[in-house]
Every structure is written in C-alpha cells, then in structure tokens.
Amino acid sequence: MDYKQIVTAALSDALAGQLTRDEIASKLERPKTSDKGDMAFPTFTLAKLLHQAPQQIAQDLAEKLDKTSFEKVEVVGPYLNFFFDKGAYSAETLQTVLTAGADYGQNDDGQGGNVPIDMSSPNIAKPMSMGHLRSTVIGNSIAEILTKNGYHPIKDNHLGDWGTQFGKLITAYKLWGNEADVKADPINKLVEYYVRFHKEDVDKPELDDTAREWFRKLENGDEEAHELWQWFRDASLQEFNDVYEKLGVTFDTFNGEAFYNDKLEEVVQILKDKNLLVESQGAQVVDLSKYNLNPALILKSDGASLYITRDIATALYRDRTYHPAKNLYVVGSEQTYYFKQLKAVLQEMGVPSADDLEHIPFGLITVDGKKLSTRSGRIILLAKVLDESVKLAAEEINEKNPDLANKDEVAQQVGVGAIVFGDLKNERTNNIDFVLADQLKFEGETGPYVQYSHARAESILRKAGKVTITTDGNQISDPEAWDTIKTLADFPAMVKMACDEFEPSVIAKYAIRLAKTFNKYYAHSKILTEDAELPARLALVKAVSTVLKESLRLLGVQAPDEM
C-alpha cells in the first residue's frame, strides 16, 4: 500500500489536472510529528497558479478530496495533512517485513552489474592506523548496500605495494636495518626505519638519490631489491589480515600496484598511438586543458612511472575483466583533483567504463584535531584501538550483565561494532575527531545503543515464549506504536537512497531512528499484556529486530541477541 501514490492520486483528482502527478509527489512532505499527520501537502506554490490565498486553496481541496483511503484529512493553515489508516497500514507493513525477513528492502535495480570497489589500500611496510579505518569500513558497507540493491560488488584491496617509498625503505634498511629485529617485530621496525629516513634526509638530500636508485633497481627486476620488497610485503599482509579479521572485512582481490607493473608499457603505447602523450621538460604528460585540469604526468624525465600510470593500467584491467556497471574508488577527499585527472585521461583513451568511474571521497579522522601521519611518526594503530574498544566493552558487560553466557564474543561484537558504527553514522565527507569513549556509550547515537535495542527486542520475544506470530492480520491500535511502524515502512527507501548516494550514514541514521522509536514505544506500552493484540505487538517487535539486524549488517556490524 503505497500511501505516497494514494495521496498523489487523491490530490491529482481534486486538482483536475492543474499539476502533474510527478509535480504533486515532489511537493509532498513528511510532518515532523505524527500529530500533524503522516503526509502533508503545502499549497504555497499553487497561489500564483490559482490566484487564491494558500489557506483558501487548502480548504477548497479538502472539500473536493476523496477521503475514503485515509483516517482523516485536516487543514492547518496552508497545509493539507493526511492521516493514514493505522490498522490497514500496520497490518500491511508488518506482513511485508515478516514475509521477507532479512530480504526486506532488497531490490534488483543493479541487475547483477559488476562494481569493482577500490578500498582500504594500505601501504606495505606501514601499520594500519586509524587513518585506514574510513576507506575500509565505508567501502565494505557500500559493497553490502550495493548487493542489497542488486549489484555484484568486487572488493579490491589495491595495496600500496609499489612506488618510490620502497626505494626509501630499502635504503633505510640497508643503512640502519637488522634482519633479526625486523623478523621479531616487522611493521614497527620498518616504520621506525621509514620515519628515520624522513628525519635524516632533511640534512642529507643525497638519501633521496639513493632511494630513487633502489626503486629503479626494483622496477628493473634486481634480485636483492625484489627479495627485500617481497619480504616487506608478506610481513605486512599478515598484520593487515589480522586487522581485517577483527573488523570482519573480506576482499575479493588483493591486486596491489605491483600487479600492474608489467602492464605499464601497454598504457604508454596506447597513449602514444592516440597521440595523447606530450613532452614537457623531459617528462611525458597528457594535456587535459579541455577539462580545465592541469596536465597529467605519466612518466618522469627519467622514465619512471607514477601513481597515475599504474592507476590507468588498473582501470584498463578492471574494464576488461569486469565490464563494470560502476567503477568506485573509496579514497580520501584530498585526492578529488587527482581522480578528476584520472577519469579525464581514461575518457581521452576511450576506455568504455571511464564515464562510470566515481570517486567516493571521505573526510579525515583526526585525534585532538591533528591529522595522523606515518611519515611524521604520529600514528594511532587501528589494531590497538579495536583491542581497547573490545576491552572497554567487556568491562561494561561485566558490570551490567556479569552472567551473560558468551561475554567474550559479545564484547568483540560490541567493541568492534562501536568503532565501525561510530565512523559510519557520520556523513562520509565530514571530518571526524575520534574519541573512543564517545563511541562506546550505550545511550545516544551509538552502535552499542542500536545493538542493545536489537537485543531488547529479542529478549521480549524470548519472554513471550510460544505465542504464535503470524505474518498477516497484525493490526495495531496503540498510537504509541505508530512512529515505529512508519519507520519500518521507510527501510526500502533508505536502502535505495544509501545506494544512490554511496552513503552508509543513511542506514546508520535510519537504524538510530528506528531504535529510538522502538524504545519510546517500549517505554510507554505494555507489550506482553495477554490480550487480543498481543500477537500483533510481538509481530511488531519481531519486525523491529529483523530490520535493526539487517541495518547493522549493511554497515558491517553484528547484532548480538543478548547483551
């Protein structure tokens, strides 16, 4: 029962064709509180068309309207406020949710189209810091949301495992490194060398020349350079995977920059064949002035490749391998200009999927307002933050529910979920100043609050015992339940919106709203009272549990049944 269509049809008949149905639908509003109706139509824009005061237009329309589909229609100043038939609406909404279960909100808009998602992408030989959290969890959630909308996401962890930084790292290791130390504590030792390099090259610029030479050796297949690179890569991946396991994030491919090293010659040849390469001060560039962009530097004067050279090779490979419906790059906002250049070069090359390349930018995570940086040694390790969050969650559970059977598992779900949800509830382009204690609160707009709301719903269902919950006929007269029922009905639209905008915060904010309306209902109504509406109330609780759990899943957060 699509009430937006019903309201639109009723208004269209009353207006006798003076506005199209699309024009009417675009003007409909959702009142902030249920006492002002469930949908409202403002008449301001009709004043000029009908040469009448908005209040009079609203009054006249109310008299002409067919009101049989509504509980009532009220005129409040220039607004027509529509009140839905609560019994029919609640019964249909609950039937839809309970019949579909976890598939509620699923659609086939994507028609199985492949969507590679370039995400996470940490640099080898550097630890995963809090700075890596955003690309990882935003990309993972977008993948879940795309699947819910009928797409086939391909999560590609495009590792930073190539580039001049490896020349710097090899140089640092050769100067100050020790094999036993690295084997004992790989990432921390390699970072120590990397940070030292950047401190010392301030007064010793010749270090940069040595680093460039080592990277040239690596590109040319030098045996010692390759062995060191492979060692650094393997050690890093082991630590990365420990973090991904904690987060519950998996990938379809780990094809890093090095995978495309042997594909660069073809990129350069295509650019030459299309007469796109221009020499500039000894370097090779692509002129992008027609896009109002600076030239894209493809090869340095010494012939060395750059990030964009490898990204062009990556885009070509993905285009040929996946034939993408969309091609997403979940990378920080500071790279926005770079991705405009990349897309422009690919369009000039005639790559079929170039028009569907989309940069999904996000803001920074700061701590005490300061940006994190491996180079400067200002790092907050993601693994340590996750462990600390789990520890604090365990302490909270021990205090509130010491007899919980699976305390360690729930602490893991709550602690990690708090970090993930705490990130995703923010619109992704906003910067976040991270405060762990704020993420772990069980009250307010947090992951633990939504998880606890789900666990509360499950607790009610357990207490109800063997009361039979059917999918149909669940009419609820309790006005306290109405906001919860309407919020449940909103879920499919939120799933579509989150997909269209590549915005997980749409789902996170929805989950908070559903949890709030449910907890308000729980506080004001006696759900387990044994009367004729008990099965219908339990059907509502079951629907809330189902949709909260599915909302959390789309964010990459687990939903414990007990807390």
Q: Are 349 and 274 in contact (CB under 8 A)?
A: yes
Q: How far apart are CA 94 and CA 471, in angstroms?
A: 7
Q: Is 375 within a domain? A: no
Q: Are residues 148 and 294 in the same domain?
A: yes
Q: Is 508 helix (H, G, I), strand (E, B) or coil?
A: helix
**Residue 357 zone, left/alpha/beta (φ > 0; ψ -120 to 50; rest):** beta
Which pLDDT value is given to residue 377?
57
Q: Are residues 307 and 433 both part of a single domain?
A: no
What CATH number should be reported for the domain holding residue 489?
Answer: 1.10.730.10
Stretch 490-506: mean pLDDT: 98
Q: What pLDDT score does 524 carry?
A: 95
- The answer to whether residues 322 and 243 belong to one domain is yes
pLDDT given at position 419: 97
Q: Is residue 204 part of a domain?
A: yes
pLDDT of residue 304: 76
Same domain, 297 and 429: no
Domain identity same for 394 and 338: no
Q: Tell me the average pLDDT of the chain.
A: 94
Same domain, 263 and 348: yes
Confidence of residue 235 (pLDDT cuts 50, 70, 90): confident
Q: How far apart are CA 497 and CA 290, in angstroms?
A: 33
Using the predicted structure, report yes or no on whether residue 63 has a pLDDT greater than 80: yes
End-to-end CA distance of the chain: 36
If you write DSSP's letter for every residue of 431-469 in order, what string do you get? Answer: -EE--HHHHT-SSSSSHHHHHHHHHHHHHHHHHHTT---
| 3-state SS class at 127 | coil
In a domain, 97, yes or no: no
Q: Using an 8 Å Cβ cutoff, are 298 and 306 in contact?
A: yes
Q: What average pLDDT does the segment 494-500 reach?
A: 98
Q: Radius of gyration over alpha carbons of the chain, in Å? A: 28
Flag whether pLDDT at 442 surpasses 70.
yes
Q: What is the mean pLDDT of residues 457-461?
A: 98
Domain count, the chain: 3
pLDDT tens sequence across 284-311: 999 999 999 999 999 999 887 888 999 9
Bridge partner list, 73: 82
Question: Do 235 and 357 reside in the same domain of the chain?
Answer: yes
SS3 29: strand
Q: What percent of the chain has pLDDT over 70?
A: 98
Q: Write out the two tokens for 90.
A: 């609640």
Q: 118 and 263 share a domain? A: yes
Angstrom CA distances, 178 to 181, 207, 213, 406, stand at 5, 19, 21, 44
Q: Which of 320, 336, 365 lies at the terminal end of a domain, its last residue?
A: 365
Is residue 143 located within the same domain as residue 66?
A: no
Strand pairing partners for 104?
Answer: none
Which DSSP string corresponds to 26-94? Answer: HH-B--SSGGG-SEEEE-TTHHHHHTS-HHHHHHHHHHHS--TTEEEEEEETTEEEEEE-HHHHHHHHH
- pLDDT > 90 in the chain, percent: 84
**Residue 39: beta bridge partners?**
82
Confidence of residue 376 (pLDDT cuts 50, 70, 90): low
CA 176 – CA 234 distance, rounded (Å): 21
pLDDT band at 261 (very low <50, low <70, confident <90, very high): confident
| Residue 61: band (very low, low, confident or very high) from pLDDT cuts 50, 70, 90 | very high
Q: What is the pLDDT of residue 358?
A: 98
* Phi, psi (rounded to 5 degrees) for 562: -135, 145
State residue 373's pLDDT score: 65
The strand pair at 39-42 and 79-84 is best described as antiparallel
What is the structure's pLDDT at 372? 67
262 within some domain: yes
Q: Would you say 118 and 156 are in contact if contact means Cβ atoms under 8 Å apart? A: yes
pLDDT tens for residues 115-158? 999 999 998 888 888 889 999 999 999 999 999 999 999 999 99
Residue of higher predicted confidence among 177 and 302: 177
Residue 52 has what pLDDT? 94
Query: Which of the listed residues 324, 340, 365 is the one where a domain comes to its end?
Result: 365
Which tens digits make up the pLDDT trace of 46-57? 998 899 999 999
Kindly report which listed range (254-258, 391-395, 435-439) carries the lowest average pLDDT score: 435-439
What is the reported pLDDT for 1? 64
Q: Which residue's structure tokens are 């996750």?
A: 386
In a domain, 100, yes or no: no
> Domain of 356?
113-365
Instruction: Return the structure tokens found at 245.
Output: 């396991």
Is 95 a member of any domain?
A: no
pLDDT (average), residues 274-279: 96
How does pLDDT run across 475-488, given as a tens digit for each residue?
998 999 999 999 99
Distance separating alpha carbons of residues 543 and 529, to the nearest angstrom: 19
Is 344 in the same domain as 420?
no
* CATH number reported for the structural domain that contains residue 123 in this entry: 3.40.50.620
Report the SS3 class of residue 543: helix
Residues 29-41 have a mean pLDDT of 93
Q: Which residues are registered as beta bridge partners of 299? A: 284, 305
pLDDT at 170: 96
Residues near 23 by beta carbon (within 8 Å), at least 6 away in sequence: none
Which tens digit of pLDDT belongs to each residue from 329-365?
999 999 999 999 999 999 999 999 999 999 999 999 8
Domain final residue pick, 365, 398, 417: 365
Residue 168 pLDDT more than 80? yes
∠ Cα 78 83 86 (to 5°): 170
* Cβ(349)–Cβ(320) below 8 Å: no
Residue 561 falls inside a structural domain: no
The answer to whether residues 190 and 337 belong to one domain is yes
Query: Backbone phi, then psi, for 179, in 5-degree steps?
Result: -60, -45
pLDDT at 374: 57
378 pLDDT band, cuts 50/70/90, is low
Lowest mean pLDDT among 117-126, 318-327, 414-423: 117-126
Structural domain includes residue 30: yes
DSSP characters over 51-65: TS-HHHHHHHHHHHS
Q: Verify that 389 and 333 share a domain, yes or no.
A: no
